[in-house]
Amino acid sequence: MGNKNICNLLGIRHPILQGGMLWIANAELAASVSNAGALGTVSPYAGMKDDGDPLENLRLQIHRTRQLTERPFAVNIPLDLPASGLLMNILLEEDVKIAVTAAGSPEPFTELLRSSGILVMHVISSTSQARFAETCGVDAVIAEGVEAGGRIGRDELPLFSLIPQVADAVSIPVIAAGGVVDGRGMAAAFALGADGVQIGTRFIATEECLAHPNYKKAILNAGDTDTIVAGRSLLPARRLRSAFSLKLSGLEQSGTAVDFLNAFVGQGRTRKAQIDGDLENGDLYSGASAGLIEKIVPAAEIVKSLIESYHHAIRKNNALSL
């Protein structure tokens, strides 16, 4: 399944990574994923109060994860966070083994992290970004397609077009992210050249994820056309259709000035949706795979189901004759 090198590199049994969702990638979720043989990921902001300290919160998440699992796990650090440099220091101080970086250039921190024995995976959305990340010394790239929930690359490349081009462009492992929710998606990603998959939205609808029940229910209720990309003149992101996302999209289409759009979006809308459960005013990040998610289950059950459905998809494909 996939490339065993990624499993050997990360010390995991299955080439499945849980996405590092900013407000909701909590220790309980990460530990459950890791205990199931995949790679769990925690975020510095997971469950943090509006006025909380991300440095203190990250230490808490790391310590809590280590209480719950002895398996490898990662920490996700978006590089555009105001405290990204200080958060990197926490990784060094806490002897974290795996880092995921995104939303910026990997150049400033990769050498520092790797010289301290930390594996680095960087999120990219184009072949040029992948090549640059490789020159910076990252251990693997996470190729994120337009199907992914939350912020996406401005080029909005579909995952099936992105994977093989990135796989051809770099010599390091490639992790596929965006719209993968079951074994069929895994099999397709591996056939196109991916070495592993990263899954975000499916792990929101789990018992361990601290996301608000309203947010989880909104994902369960979503159909195939219930996500949109909005915010292209700011930071494009895939979101559930909601009063907020439709209003934002309408303002953009009418040519509203960027300053006004920034004021409209304001601060804290993702937390308002994901932690507080405000579906009217919050920003409901979701991948295009939401239409395939039907129930809330333990995270370990998702990992098990992914493996089983992957093998089923492979057997089915092997039975086909061209």
Q: Using 50, 70 and 90 to split pLDDT, how confident is the model at 267?
A: confident
Q: Which DSSP helix (H) or strand (E) runs through 20?
A: none
Mean pLDDT of the chain, nearest integer = 92
Q: Using 50, 70 and 90 to split pLDDT, how confident is the model at 234?
A: confident
Nearest CA to 10 out of 197, 183, 178, 200 is that of 197
As a whole number of angstroms, the distance between CA 26 and CA 133 comes to: 27
In tens, the pLDDT along 54-72 reads: 999 999 999 999 999 999 9
Q: Which DSSP helix (H) or strand (E) runs through 73?
A: strand 73-78
In tens, the pLDDT along 198-208 reads: 999 999 999 99
Q: Using 50, 70 and 90 to split pLDDT, how confident is the model at 79?
A: very high
Q: Quick check: 321 pLDDT over 80?
A: no
In the block, tokens 């459905």 appear at 309
Those residues with Cβ within 8 angstroms of residue 243's Cβ, 6 or more apart along the chain or in another chain = 280, 281
SS3 for 126? coil
Q: Using 50, 70 and 90 to split pLDDT, how confident is the model at 258?
A: confident
Q: Quick check: 277 pLDDT over 60?
A: yes
Q: Quick check: 1 pLDDT over 50?
A: no
In tens, the pLDDT along 288-316 reads: 999 999 999 999 999 999 999 999 888 87
- Where is average pLDDT lowest: 24-33, 198-207, 241-250? 241-250
Do 301 and 314 form a contact (C-beta atoms < 8 A)?
A: no
Domains of the chain: 4-210+292-313 (3.20.20.70), 217-288 (no CATH)
Average pLDDT score over residue span 177-181 = 95
Average pLDDT score over residue span 224-250 = 89
Q: How many Å separate Cα 96 from the centre of its chain? A: 19
Q: Using 50, 70 and 90 to split pLDDT, how confident is the model at 266?
A: confident
In the block, tokens 């199931």 appear at 36
